[in-house]
Structure 1
């Protein structure tokens, strides 16, 4: 029809750039361990004090439940049993002939097609679904993993909007949320920590009047053993054994806050970190992944009411599940297993667990075991 533009009318560079920006705005951004005997003793004493209404060590930051919530299987040499999840693909509804190249053709890579998941704001109702497995490579270390759609590193730790809680202003709540984020980042993502260094920032967030916890963590970093294991709080790999495949650790989880007991502020954090790894040394190409889920409950008390250190957070609970790390090794490092490795250590005996299933809450009463995972 006269005056009607043809279907094949080309679009200008400016129009194309506006289209890409509009399309981009439419896409949302986004092993368990058995506690040590000493830790069990500390927690039992704190529980007794709390039951009697006493403030432990002349300060009040609530009962320390880190051990009862941490009870469970030690670090595990996970057996790979399952298949990965589908990759979310952002489809652009426009005629392919108007697009440069062939983005929907067979030459498109999974990395280009993947779309970040929106930030997690509530506990999922089901684990990620599975698709045909794919082999992780140096070029694509998260192939065949739900983590492919997770956010990169600290970008996956999205803070909720801070509002006033009790006697705490929105600004003070926001500071506590940022401190929680700093702890998580330094403990699980900082390159120095991952290579076995001291996580000074994370330690600096913790209430120093939690003397037994602070001493436990310091001893675990200095001289790790079964009763002093830094992996209960920090992710660490032996640089002489493995290194990251690339420079990205995938992160997914959520942070919430609410009014706690006795006028406190309670902050809850639940995050999964996925580490792609290759063996140390030149020429290594086989990629393995270790999956670490960490659950933290932190507490902020009013220094006008309690003998606490202003600006510090008390640790109420720290729990972890670790997928793909050797059982019964207490040298302070995670030890991922590779498909090419000869199996060593105890045979897996526990039930199979999906380390990506964030719909389930880690059972604080789970038994110590060396189990299996369905995928990494």
Structure 2
């Protein structure tokens, strides 16, 4: 074999010195890195001790099997799985809310499309305009006030908020407070008591009226016993025929106010102006819901028994007016007769002027007893 280098391989003398030195250093480094290393004496002792403990089942905590570390790893894995599971529904929910913010409770983005309307504060002065238009929703057995301004009104007796009692002229604060409480009792019994609404006798309302007042309690008794055009209990009491109509649920919406003044019989006069909204359905099992709206203005006085022939602790009924929305006209049997839009015949439609039964800015003198209502 010839030692002569081939023509295509350079001889050592032809390789530059700096290149040869770099090649030598790299080669020595690689040899040292790949050579097996003798473990230190301490490493051999630790390895042997662990081997013996492992053989006896005594592997110390923290060496590959630390239970705290394992539990932490498990919890981390669980969290990752939980977020992975929740991630898709959360993304879907975010997409739905982005498309329809009204799905959120309240109105967090100020869109004005809140599903749960905030209740109105108590009325303390006469409104200057009717309530704004509501969404044209159809009332149902589950949502009998849907599409009505009364949705934001107070429920029942909570809507009768008494003004602060204070002395009126020579009438003490205590007497004024008594008059306010009696006036509220009259309104509640006459318009909100479920027995009264079902057509029963309003005993509590009659009990606060003065029996010595000529032509008052006797006339009301006659109206309740034998209703007619001349003696109509609906002028003071809200009543439905239980054989034809039933109340939907037990909530009657209420809105109004009371004011105080000096009486003409040495006492304190109370003026009450309230509107009541009754959701009803037919008693034959129909699911159609209608609403009847009744507004009442009542003036009473707690007179001075020391100066006038009156019964102490009873009210004089001075004046009472009413306006009824959605009830058949010219029926004088002592009951309200709501009309249901889906079953109302053209011949029974009212022909009088159209009024808004929710408009509390109007005087009752401005209305027509048998007109057409713009909404219910």
TM-score, normalised by the number of residues in structure 1: 0.69
Alignment of 1:353-372 (within 5 A): 353-363=355-365, 370-372=370-372
Cα drift, residue 345 of structure 1: 5.8
Q: Is the 8 A contact 2:134 2:149 kept in 1?
A: no
Cα drift, residue 261 of structure 1: 3.0
Cα deviation, 1:54-82, whole Å, max 9, x if unaligned, reads: xxxxxxxxxxxxxxxxxxxxxxxxxxxxx
1:147 matched to 2:163? The reply is no
Cα drift, residue 250 of structure 1: 0.2
2:183 aligned partner? 180
* Unaligned residue ranges in structure 2 (runs of 5+): 1-92, 95-99, 107-112
CA distance in 1 between partners of 2:213 and 2:346 (Å): 38
2:245 aligned partner? 242
The verdict on how the C-alpha distance between 1:105 and 1:370 changes in structure 2, with shifts beyond 3 A counting, is closer
1:125 aligned partner? 128
1:304 matched to 2:306? The reply is yes
1:160 matched to 2:157? The reply is no
Say which of 351, 354, 361 aligns to 1:352.
354
Higher relative contact order at CA 8 Å, sep ≥6: structure 1 or structure 2?
A: 1
Cα drift, residue 223 of structure 1: 1.1
Give the secondary-structure state (helix, strand or coil) at the position aligned to 1:212.
coil
Q: Which has the higher helix share?
A: 2
TM-score, normalised by the number of residues in structure 2: 0.69
Which structure has the bigger radius of gyration?
2
Question: Alignment length, in residue pairs?
Answer: 274
Cα drift, residue 349 of structure 1: 2.6
1:198 matched to 2:201? The reply is yes
Alignment of 1:148-297 (within 5 A): 148-261=151-264, 263-282=266-285, 284-297=286-299
Q: Give runs of ≥4 in structure 1 deviating > 6 Å.
A: none
Say which of 106, 127, 137 aligns to 2:103.
106
Cα drift, residue 171 of structure 1: 1.3
Give the secondary-structure state (helix, strand or coil) at the position aligned to 1:363.
helix
Cα drift, residue 335 of structure 1: 0.5
Q: Is the 8 A contact 1:347 1:370 kept in 2?
A: no
Q: Is the 8 A contact 1:270 1:296 kept in 2?
A: yes
CA distance in 1 between partners of 2:348 and 2:139 (Å): 26
Q: Is the 8 A contact 1:166 1:263 kept in 2?
A: no
The verdict on how the C-alpha distance between 1:342 and 1:360 changes in structure 2, with shifts beyond 3 A counting, is closer
The farther-off stretch of 350-359 and 123-132 is 123-132
The verdict on how the C-alpha distance between 1:347 and 1:144 changes in structure 2, with shifts beyond 3 A counting, is closer
Give the secondary-structure state (helix, strand or coil) at the position aligned to 2:364.
coil
Give the secondary-structure state (helix, strand or coil) at the position aligned to 2:246.
strand
Q: Is the 8 A contact 2:102 2:115 kept in 1?
A: no
Q: CA RMSD in A?
A: 2.3
CA distance in 2 between partners of 1:341 and 1:234 (Å): 26
